[in-house]
Amino acid sequence: MAKILVIDDEEQLRELLKQMLTRDGHEVVTASDGVEGMRTFDKFQPNVVITDIIMPNKDGIEVITELLCRDSKIAIIAISGGRRAITAEFNLESAELLGVKGILSKPFTRDQLREAVSLALA
């Protein structure tokens, strides 16, 4: 299976994603913000990065941009709930324009997560 890095400032969601992805056979590490996520990326060298968009210290758009500059082929899945639906939609559309492999709007189902990871790995 894949090595997956999950970057999200919401601890409960981070742990839930780690549990779900681990049960599916993936090796998963987590980071609580974009700064920690970039440090973890360098050490872990994942196949897939799942990143929230709205985070402190370094937001998801900055993370996506930096990741793609380091490795243009890295599979990235952007997730966002935003403060309002229109904000989440705008954030995810922005991530998609940058070249992420998938987008998920919070809340999403386990099946939607599995599908996004499968497509990112394809």
State residue 62's pLDDT score.
Answer: 95
Q: Is the pLDDT of residue 22 over 70?
A: yes
State the Cα–Cα distance between residues 102 and 92, nearest whole angstrom.
Answer: 9
pLDDT in tens, 66-109: 999 999 999 999 998 855 555 667 777 777 778 899 989 888 99
Which range marks the domain in which residue 100 is found?
Answer: 3-121
pLDDT at 84: 52
pLDDT attached to residue 51: 97
pLDDT at 37 over 80: yes
pLDDT at 88: 63
Count of domains forming the chain: 1
Q: Do 64 and 100 contact (CB within 8 A), yes or no?
A: yes
Q: Rounded to the nearest 5°, which phi and psi values hold at 90?
A: -60, -45
Task: State the CATH number of the domain containing residue 102.
Answer: 3.40.50.2300
